[in-house]
Amino acid sequence: MPSSRTASPKRLPEPPHLAQPKLTQVTDRTWTSWHDTVIAGFQGSAETETTALSRDLFPPAGCFGLRVGRAWVATASSTVRSLSVPGGEVPCAAVSDVTVAPAYRRRGLLSAMIRHQLDDLTARKVPVAALWASESGIYGRFGYGVATWSATLSGSTHESAFLPDIATEGSVVEVSADQRLAAARPVHESVRAEQPGMFDRPGRWWEMETVDPERWREGRSARRYLVHFDAGGTVDGVGTYRFKDDWNRTGPAGKVSVGPVLASTPTAYAGLWRYQLDLDLARTFSASGAAAQETLLHLLADPRALDIRPADGLYLRILDVSEALQSRSYLADAALVLQVADPVLASVDGRYSLRIARGHAEVARTRKAPDLTLSARDLAAVYLGGVSVGDLHRAGRVREHTAGAVREAAGAFGWTRSPYCPDNF
Ligand SMILES: CC(=O)SCCNC(=O)CCNC(=O)[C@H](O)C(C)(C)COP(=O)(O)OP(=O)(O)OC[C@H]1O[C@@H](n2cnc3c(N)ncnc32)[C@H](O)[C@@H]1OP(=O)(O)O
């Protein structure tokens, strides 16, 4: 006989329309049932290969959800990592695992969880949060803006010749996952120092790249790992790819799926791409996790050979305007008052004086009249330098109250390279 504390497997659940889900923190004991609910929320099947890794990457302290009785009906998580911003880095809550069970959708559970999470992160003085959205229409209402733009690139390998003056030197070799891991850590750190949009990879985050179950391959090879040696034999770049073996009436029709190329020198970047585009038996390539402003475009003799399908990338949410803006560097001096409109977080909403000198900002609350008005969502969009204040002004999303303020802000907030985030979480 089941104990009075154990629900009978035959007993029906409480009718969802009568249930009152309760906000609940995940514990060591409830993490597994919470994680099963996350997988079900994404319409997936239990993934035993990744459960232990997920347990370490998303520990109970950052996980919560809503329960009806003992059953989870909604889930969310965050883990604080370091996000590279122009000229520096900032603590950032990497938000993930957001689901609401179909029986409970569209009755405000997501909204309740996100508001709770934003308040909690604010109380813990985390200045910025970030996420990858499953669907683009979800997170703008909560003050998340698109801070990096991704792209799927594709083309014919035979039309991918580089401009004649593109230098390649050194060499590329395929290595084991373990060999690449050792080589990749220092390359990642050196690239991350210069590349806004990248996250640190503490603990077991590197293992995300080596989990490679058969069912994720979709008929392609296991993941293959590359390192690039410079002319002196030092590793200065890493990459990964898969190969889809295919043949047609005229011969080979293989397809290369190119993973993120991490390179600390232009020659490593060019060398890693060239290696993959020159693979024998390949005719086409695609790169689904590329940047919308991928440097490859500037290497090709015929840029029309590249099909670029852009999409929203990393979403950011500014939780502490002063801390966030003071954590990055700027390309030009400026003295502006920003009115930040934030209907979700009263702690963010308001006016800020921004004084930028020699690349660094001092930010303070002010009562002075604003030079520019923008939403918290749009402040997040321009924060990494990937979206221009001028473009948002032309789109009617930034209001200029003082002539020249848009130009001043656009000059200061831009950066020397477009932000890019190769980490999906
Ligand atoms: C960071 C991540 O983990 S991203 C992953 C997000 N999760 C998924 O995609 C898994 C499958 N989907 C789900 O679990 C759910 O449908 C969720 C989490 C997307 C939405 O949960 P719900 O509880 O239904 O959302 P809630 O009722 O709070 O809706 C809030 C608002 O967002 C809108 N909304 C909700 N989902 C979507 C969507 N997919 N696209 C556009 N708008 C949406 C609602 O219409 C509502 O709008 P309103 O305020 O104007 O009325």
**Does 100 show up as a binding residue in the annotation?**
yes
Question: Does 64 participate in catalysis according to the annotation?
Answer: no
Q: Please give the Cα distance from 397 to 116 (Å, whole number).
A: 27
Q: Is 405 in the pocket of ligand 1 (CB under 6 A)?
A: no
CA distance 32 to 16: 23
What pLDDT score was predicted for residue 195? 97
- Tell me what ipTM this predicted complex has: 0.98
**The pLDDT of residue 124:** 98
Cα dihedral angle (41, 43, 49, 52), rounded to 10 degrees?
0
C-beta of residue 246 within 8 angstroms of C-beta of residue 255: yes
Q: Which atom of ligand 1 is nearest to the CA of 113?
A: 28
Q: Under 8 Å CB-to-CB from 326, ≥6 apart: which residues?
A: 360, 361, 362, 363
| Cα(419) to centroid(ligand 1), Å | 27
268 Cβ below 6 A of ligand 1? no
Number of Cβ within 10 Å of residue 263's Cβ equals: 21
Q: Is the CB of 40 under 6 A from ligand 1?
A: no
CB of 37 shorter than 6 A to ligand 1: no
222 near 212, Cβ under 8 Å? yes
CA–CA separation, 257 and 36 (whole Å): 30
In terms of DSSP H, where are the helices of 146-228?
177-194
Q: Which of 114, 43, 129 is nearest to 75 (CA)?
A: 114
Query: Consecutive sets of 10 residues in the chain, 425 residues long: mean pLDDT of each?
Result: 53 95 98 96 82 93 97 98 98 98 98 98 98 98 98 98 95 96 95 97 88 89 97 98 96 97 97 98 96 96 96 98 98 98 98 98 98 98 97 98 98 97 93
Residue 94 has φ and ψ, to the nearest 5°, of -85, 105
CA–CA separation, 274 and 55 (whole Å): 38
For residues 287 and 260, what is the distance between their CA atoms, to the nearest angstrom?
8
**Which residue of 106, 115, 136 sits with most ligand 1 atoms within 8 Å of its CB, as the best mutation to test the pocket?**
106
- In eight-state DSSP terms, residue 223 is P
- Cβ neighbour number for residue 164 with a 10 Å cutoff: 6
- Describe the crossing of helices 405-413 and 376-383 by its angle, rounded to 10 degrees: 50
Q: Is 187:263 a contact under the CB 8 Å cutoff?
A: yes
pLDDT of residue 8: 66
Distance CA 315, CA 403 (A): 30
Q: Where do we find the tokens 């004991």?
A: 29
Q: What angle do CA 22, 26, 28 make, to 5 degrees?
A: 145
Q: Hey, is 173 helix, strand or coil?
A: strand
Q: What is the pLDDT of residue 211?
A: 87
Determine the pLDDT at residue 7. 54
Cα–Cα distances in Å, from 154 out to 77, 151, 159, 262, 286?
Answer: 34, 10, 11, 19, 4
CA 73 to ligand 1 centroid distance, Å: 14
Ligand 1 centroid vs 79 CA: distance in angstroms? Answer: 21
Q: What is the DSSP letter of 140?
A: G
Between CA 225 and CA 209 the distance in angstroms is 10
Distance CA 227, CA 162 (A): 20
Ligand-binding site membership of 33 (annotated): no
Q: HEC string of 82-134?
A: EEEECCEEEEEEEEEEEEECHHHCCCCHHHHHHHHHHHHHHHCCCCEEEEECC
As a whole number of angstroms, the distance between CA 367 and CA 391 comes to: 27
Residue ranges of domains in the chain, CATH in brackets: 17-126 (3.40.630.30), 151-310 (3.40.630.30), 321-413 (3.30.1050.10)
Say if ligand 1 is within 6 A of residue 96 CB: yes
